[in-house]
Amino acid sequence: MMVDPTSERPLLGRQLTRVFGEGEMRTTALNEVSIELERGQVALLMGPSGSGKSTLLAVLSGLLQPDSGQVMALGQDLWKMAEIQRERFRLKHCGFIFQGYNLFAALTARQQLEMVVRWGEGGSAKEARRRANEMLTLLGLGKKAHLRPSELSGGEKQRVAIGRALIKDPEFCFADEPTSALDWAHGEQVIELLRNAAHERNATVLIVAHDARIIPYVDRVYNLEDGCLHENEEEGRAEEPHDHTGRNGNASAPLPQHTLRRFLQ
Ligand SMILES: Nc1ncnc2c1ncn2[C@@H]1O[C@H](COP(=O)(O)OP(=O)(O)OP(=O)(O)O)[C@@H](O)[C@H]1O
Ligand SMILES: [Mg+2]
């Protein structure tokens, strides 16, 4: 892994607080959360439903304004930027994978990806087609490139959404439950793609997920509980050489028992 420890952290969240609702409905989704993400690493954010994971991802990626605290992204204060600047920042530097896919109903799988290259980067139609085909093939969707979302299964739609996030080779990749619609074989492929974006292309990757099978693939594991963040120091293990033989998800991945207990209950 080529990480320069002296380089500035690409993404810093400081004392982030976000509250929803009022009175009896008041929920503190984030309670003074601080987090530092490294270039070239995959961070995994886990925690019970409602603990604030999606909220943290949205705040760090410039989609949801915190009530207080600061997000420094590539040395810029994300929440001090004008809205239009923040939009440009997201377009240029961030790939998003949401659980709801957010695909355009009228476009084929290939067109969803081509659009990013053509309109996001100003690439030519030929370049867009080449890269879209390459990415769809990588995702096992080469033969489905001409289909629209309504003609694709949930897992296939999820893979198109992943292709759309990664085709622009983003500096940051934010993935909220990217594997939840997939069987483990496809889920593993997705995690490999995200690892590849970090380890080979030096992206900063943040994944929100419940599935403990992902833990052996990532560099850092964070736990959110009731809006408070803790890092599980012992659990990031992606620096080990990758070994395909033990990682088929049949409980043969080398997970500490206490980790399994905590995440599978
Ligand atoms: N727009 C909103 N309006 C009101 N409350 C909200 C809103 N968004 C989130 N919340 C509340 O904030 C808390 C954290 O929500 P969040 O979506 O971040 O949880 P999560 O950890 O992603 O959960 P899950 O694993 O179920 O996706 C929850 O109690 C939720 O009800
Ligand atoms: Mg969520």
Six token digits for residue 245: 């033989």
Its domain, for residue 214, covers: 11-264
Q: Which residue has the tokens 């009731």?
A: 226
Structural domain contains residue 240: yes
pLDDT average, residue stretch 220-249: 67
Report the pLDDT value the prediction gives residue 203, as an integer from 0 to 100.
Answer: 96
With respect to residue 17, please indicate whether it lies within any of the assigned structural domains. yes
Quote the pLDDT of residue 140: 87
Predicted pLDDT of residue 102? 81
Residue closest to 239 by CA, chosen among 2, 9, 39: 2
What average pLDDT does the structure give for the chain? 85
- Say if ligand 1 is within 6 A of residue 254 CB: no
55 lines ligand 1 (CB under 6 A): yes
Query: Is the pLDDT score of 105 beyond 70?
Result: yes
State what percent of residues in the chain have pLDDT above 90.
66
pLDDT score at 193: 87
Question: Into how many domains does the chain fold?
Answer: 1
Spacing, Cα 79 to ligand 2 middle (Å): 21
- The pLDDT score that the predictor gives to residue 220 is 96
Q: For residue 122, how many other CB atoms are within 10 A of its CB?
A: 8
Residue pLDDT, tens place only, 9-34: 899 999 999 999 999 999 999 999 99
What is the Å distance from ligand 1's center to 1 Cα? 34
Q: Is the model's pLDDT at 261 over the cut of 80?
A: no
Residue 5 has pLDDT above 70, yes or no: no
Q: What is the pTM of this model?
A: 0.83
Going from the Cα of 21 to the center of ligand 1, the distance in angstroms, rounded, reads 11
pLDDT confidence band for 200 (50 / 70 / 90): very high
Is 90 exceeded by the pLDDT of residue 253?
no
Q: What angle is formed at CA 12 by the lines to CA 33 and CA 2, rounded to 5 degrees? A: 130
4 occurs within a structural domain: no
Q: Is residue 111 part of a domain?
A: yes
pLDDT of the residue at 239 = 53
Whether the pLDDT of residue 245 is over 90: the answer is: no
Can you give the pLDDT at residue 158? 87
Which residue's C-alpha comes closest to atom 19 of ligand 1? 50
- For residue 193, tell me if it sits in a domain: yes
Nearest ligand 1 atom to alpha carbon 47: 21
| pLDDT band at 243; cut points 50, 70, 90 | very low
Q: Specify the CATH number for the domain of residue 137.
A: 3.40.50.300
Mean pLDDT for 197-217 is 93
Contact 45, 208 (CB under 8 A): yes
Least confident of 101-105, 115-119, 239-243: 239-243
φ, ψ (nearest 5 deg) of residue 35: -150, 145
Judge whether 6 lies within some domain: no
List, in sequence order, every beta strand (DSSP E) within the chain: 11-20, 27-37, 42-46, 68-73, 76-77, 94-97, 172-176, 204-208, 220-225, 228-231
Residue 1 domain-assigned?
no
| Average pLDDT, integer, range 239-259 | 38
Give the Cα separation of 37 and 12 in Å (integer). Answer: 6
Look at residue 3 and tell me if it is in a domain: no
**Residue of 55, 56, 223 best suited for mutating to test ligand 1, as the one with most atoms within 8 Å of CB:** 55
Residue 92 CA to residue 122 CA, distance in Å, equals 11
